[in-house]
Amino acid sequence: MTGVRVLVGTRKGAFVLTSDGDREQWSVEGPHFPGWEIYHMKASPVDPDRIYASQSSGWFGQIIQRSDDGGTTWTPVGNEFTYDGETGTHMWYDGTPHPWEFKRVWHLEPSLTERDVVYAGVEDAALFKSTDGGMTWRELSGLRKHGTGSQWQPGAGGLCLHTIVLDPANDQRIYIAISAAGAFRTDDGGESWIPINKGLRSAEIPDQDSEVGHCVHRIAMHPSHPERLFMQKHWDVMRSDNAGDQWHEVSGNLPTDFGFPIAVHAHEPETVYVVPITSDSHHFPPEGKLRVYRSRTGGHEWEALTDGLPQSDCYVNVLRDAMAVDQMPSCGVYFGTSGGQVYMSGDSGDHWTAIVRDLPPVMSVEVQTLTNTPARV
Amino acid sequence: MSRAIRVVLPTHLRALAHVGSEIDVHAHARLVGNANSDAGKAVTLRDVLDAIEAEYPMLRGTIRDHVTQKRRAFVRFYACERDLSHDSPDNALPERVRSGDEPLLVVGAMAGG
């Protein structure tokens, strides 16, 4: 493994950061699509030079871009996301029915095994699938037509399907999460879905045992243990050891258990990372200190990682798709902030450095570990 | 009948379509007006948008919705110092646009500071 490529989506364009295996010298290319919001970029595990980007604008709508040369050149592909059949209504913020309306793509998840298959999580919440490299999209409408759809209510960021986790051991199993409906799982490739929210507790909803209504922020999995899931919920860090059938809280000694991203170490399935944020109204870290917290025990016991991160007067946020790990022998951890910094640690979080400091607000960070040194380094 | 219509796109759509500040599109005129009165063939806004999307498929969905064909909320159409945004897309465009003397302006509405 000789190189790393970091894909950074920001409020005003996309950036590609590349380094060799030492991860000390970086080249920064971009902005691609300047002026557009890039909610997410992700590469195909089957073909690392194939990268998808979700490009959107309040003026001109949704574009999906695809690169087949590692992010050097891009081509717009299909951007028609049409819901399947009658859309019906979900619940609006004020509790009234509201029609489903497509707004944007939050997350793109390329297949683990098929080069031309990619999934898109959209707002208003639905899951789409392309089998032709993003040229055309079909809704997997069994999710939206789940019997609870009329009860789904948007979170502060909208009714968005923001998390898609593919099971590497079972190509029929997919996990998704929606703010603020909760987590769902399919075991038949997306035709039918079940809510997997047992054990979640959310003060924002009246019935704590409700099967939907929980504001799940992010789910992470280690590929060697696909039945073990870690979740950053609106409040609470949660864990499931049975594919989401039951969750239990592992927030432990975190200074606050509100946050957005959660990630699992590349080689240690019980090592988990979160970035505690003060609260849902204070979208910045406690005490003005930017701290990643690491648990090496699968939760409950957490340690603050601070070396190289600002420990005073820091009031940035880290969004749900803005943290990722690489696969290098010494695992790299990366995250981007609303202040435009992209931080990385080449030693599992012990020491941090900023790759770049002054990008537009970062919305997403994904990392590719390449077997060939990226051409631009 | 096919005639060249001059269209000025907003900056972001020029970048997306890899074109300069102004493009020429060949719109197919259709029957406009009431069939019982002075019906005739003239190029409409819908004809021009159809032609733009045919020639530049990457612009589909960016000016109007894929399915409903409704103008996106923050897009405006101006020509000959008039705002055509709220007119029917099936009205004939101003004669000076149809003749190529004036461009049709596709504009991103002012918003966002």
Set out the domains of chain A in order of their start, with CATH numbers. 3-370 (2.130.10.10)
Residue B87 neighbours by CB under 8 Å, 6+ apart: B45
B24-45 b/e (C-beta count within 10 Å ≥ 16 → b):
ebebebeebeeeeeeeeebbbb
Kindly state the tokens that stand for A300: 């409950």
Amino acid in position A316: V
pLDDT category of residue B63 using cuts at 50, 70 and 90: very high
pLDDT tens sequence across B92-104: 999 999 999 999 9
* pLDDT score for B2: 60
Chain B residue with Cα closest to A13: B12
CB contact under 8 A, B61 and A62: yes
Kindly state the tokens that stand for A28: 């920064």
B19 CA to chain A: closest CA distance, Å? 14
* pLDDT score for B109: 87
pLDDT(A374) > 70: no
Mean pLDDT of A283-298: 97
pLDDT(B113) > 60: no
**Residue A229 CB neighbours (<10 A):** 25
**Residue A155 CB neighbours (<10 A):** 19
- Contacts A63 to B, Cβ<8 Å: 16, 58, 62
Chain A residue with Cα closest to B75: A59
* pLDDT score for B31: 72
Could you tell me if A11 lies within 8 Å of chain B, comparing CB atoms? no
Identity of the residue in A33, A60, A82 whose CB atom sits nearest the CB atom of B62 = A60
pLDDT(B11) > 60: yes
Could you tell me if B96 lies within 8 Å of chain A, comparing CB atoms? no
* Nearest Cα residue to A329 out of A265, A264, A261: A265
For chains A and B, count residue pairs whose Cβ atoms are closer than 8 Å.
43
Q: Please tell me the distance from the alpha carbon of residue A198 to that of residue A94, in angstroms, as a whole number.
A: 26
Q: Please tell me the distance from the alpha carbon of residue A110 to that of residue A46, in angstroms, as a whole number.
A: 9
A98 CA to chain B: closest CA distance, Å? 18
pLDDT category of residue B30 using cuts at 50, 70 and 90: confident
**Residue B108 CB neighbours (<10 A):** 19
A119 CA to chain B: closest CA distance, Å? 20
- Contacts A61 to B, Cβ<8 Å: 61-62, 72
- Provide Rg for chain B, Cα atoms: 14
* Nearest Cα residue to A133 out of A147, A144, A119: A119
